[in-house]
Homo-oligomer: A and B are copies of this chain.
Amino acid sequence: MEGEAGKIDIKDIPMPDEDVMYDLAELYKVFGDSTRIKILYVLFESEMCVQDISNVIGMTQSAVSHQLRVLKNSKLVKYRRDGKTIYYSLADGHVRSIMDQGLEHIEE
């Protein structure tokens, strides 16, 4: 026997589209790296340029730049240019609430 299987069809269960669940997983992958988490925390304080982010979190300029691109592609951060310098900042409030929810879960 396989439980209730046979009676159960994916169509009977109200789930988001396959694509949506895939996109959701992709989004969480972005949060699933401690370098990117650190960057996001730094940006909670204020917008900041790449060099400063590198110094604060102790990673190379290149590594930070690569990860900023990932965050940018997921629309979690935005940026503005001021001369040679590019300032990054958080894109919206969801970042904060997602991370707060995660923290709550951890602290149990």
> Which A residues contact B (CB, under 8 angstroms)?
2-6, 8-10, 13-16, 20-34, 36-38, 41-42, 45, 48-49, 51-52, 55-58, 75-76, 85, 92, 94-95, 97-99, 101-106, 108
Copies of the polypeptide in the assembly: 2
A sample of 25 cross-chain residue pairs with beta-carbon separation below 8 angstroms, ordered by A number, consists of A2-B51, A2-B52, A2-B55, A3-B48, A5-B51, A6-B55, A8-B52, A15-B38, A16-B41, A16-B103, A20-B103, A21-B34, A21-B38, A24-B34, A25-B34, A28-B31, A29-B32, A29-B33, A75-B105, A92-B108, A94-B104, A97-B101, A98-B102, A98-B105, A101-B101
Chain B residues in 8 Å Cβ range of A56:
8-10, 13
Q: Judging by beta carbons under 8 Å apart, are B24 and A33 in contact?
A: no
A58 CA to B13 CA in the complex, in Å?
A: 13
Nearest-CB distance from A42 to chain B (Å)?
6
A32 CA to B33 CA in the complex, in Å?
A: 10
A30 CA to B14 CA in the complex, in Å?
A: 22
A94 CA to B104 CA in the complex, in Å?
A: 8
